[in-house]
Amino acid sequence: MLPFILKRLGLAVLVALTVSFISFSLLFLSGDPAAALAGETASGEDIEAVRRLYGFDRPMLVQYGEWLWQAVQGNFGESYYFKLPVQSLIADRLSVTMTLGVCGITFALLTAVPLGVAAAIRPNSIIDRVALFLSVAGQAMPSFWFGLILIVLFAIQLGWLPPSGASSWRHYIMPTIVLGYYAMPAIMRLTRAGMLEVLNSDYIRTARAKGAGEMRVMFKHALRNAIIPVVSLAAVQMGFMLGGSIVVESVFALHGAGYLAWESIARNDLPTVQALILIFSMFYIVFNFLADVLNAWLDPRMRSS
């Protein structure tokens, strides 16, 4: 197990370095940063002064090295727009996004996996039909529309939940449902397909022939094998959710990292964009690494490959 983990960790670090270089290069891919900073009315001399001030005149690799060295210490420079350190700007926003993301994926897994298992145990039953309907509806409904429907129903008509903001846990209920419901259909269908395949396998017949009860067959023998692809999918979706959903954050006026990313792109605030891209990518890398480790624990065949 340990050699497998070390190998995956090494790969993850390599991917992280590549991503960091790409996100650093964005600064140069979007035109002359010194000219952009100095403003439209700046003279040639002003631009040169800005270039020296910010160190843009040094070789790119040197700049990358310095940026990376600062970044790993949590120092992402100063936002062009807010004139504040990027890290303090992001920290607030990220806690909102992380709360929402963790709640969203938890909601998705807690509804999708039991529903997928129930649907697979009795294909074409009422439960299976209901699960299929829910997943098609979830896939077809745009998040902003579903969010608005919830706001109209639960915040305005019934007055049970606050329509927007992030000041208490009750503010997170509707965003969690909207974000989680977006991820639910794929997880549900994959769980169902995995369970159906596993339930037809010979080792399930062996388990029954041993005299194992249905619950034991389903949860000890079948689910552990069926859940393996679901783990990988959930990791990707978790990464996506922690990257912030601009749509959900906008509808519920949750000022999270996704919303900040969208604003910063619009404002050409490159240090903020760079930092966010790097952080979002790290989420993906970390969750994929964790998913690999979890899968190797679930499936011994993966450890040796």
Site for other proteins in 21-40 (CB under 8 A): none
Q: Is the dihedral of CA 260, 263, 269, 273 positive or negative?
A: positive
Binding mask of the shown chain, residues 207 to 246, with x at each position contacting other proteins by CB under 8 A: xxxxxxx-------x--xx---------------------
Tell me which residue of 150, 226, 145, 244 sits closest to 189, measured CA to CA: 226
Give the integer Cα–Cα distance in Å for 246 and 276: 13
Side-chain half-sphere CA neighbours of 248 within 13 A:
31
Asked whether the beta carbons of 67 and 229 are under 8 A apart, the reply is no
Is residue 299 a contact point for other proteins (CB under 8 A)?
A: yes
Smallest separation, CB 197 to other proteins (Å)? 12
Is residue 196 a contact point for other proteins (CB under 8 A)?
A: no
Instruction: Using the minimum distance from each CB to other proteins, give the nearer residue, 98 or 212.
Output: 212
Is residue 300 a contact point for other proteins (CB under 8 A)?
A: yes
Tell me which residue of 211, 288, 237, 202 sits closest to 12, measured CA to CA: 288
Smallest separation, CB 190 to other proteins (Å)? 18
Smallest separation, CB 209 to other proteins (Å)? 4
Asked whether the beta carbons of 67 and 59 are under 8 A apart, the reply is no
Binding mask of the shown chain, residues 126 to 145, with x at each position contacting other proteins by CB under 8 A: --------------------
DSSP 173-222: HHHHHHHHHHHHHHHHHHHHHHHHHHHTSHHHHHHHHTT--HHHIIIIII
Report angle CA 185, 191, 195 to the nearest 5 degrees: 150
Is residue 293 a contact point for other proteins (CB under 8 A)?
A: no
Instruction: Using the minimum distance from each CB to other proteins, give the nearer residue, 159 or 300.
Output: 300
Which segment (52-60, 180-188, 262-270, 297-305) binds other proteins by CB under 8 A?
297-305
Smallest separation, CB 113 to other proteins (Å)? 17
Is residue 203 a contact point for other proteins (CB under 8 A)?
A: yes
Smallest separation, CB 210 to other proteins (Å)? 4
- The dihedrals phi and psi of 291, each to the nearest 5 degrees, come to -65, -40
Which segment (5-13, 21-29, 253-261, 293-301) binds other proteins by CB under 8 A?
293-301
**Residues within the interface to other proteins (CB under 8 A):** 201-203, 205-213, 221, 224-225, 298-301, 304
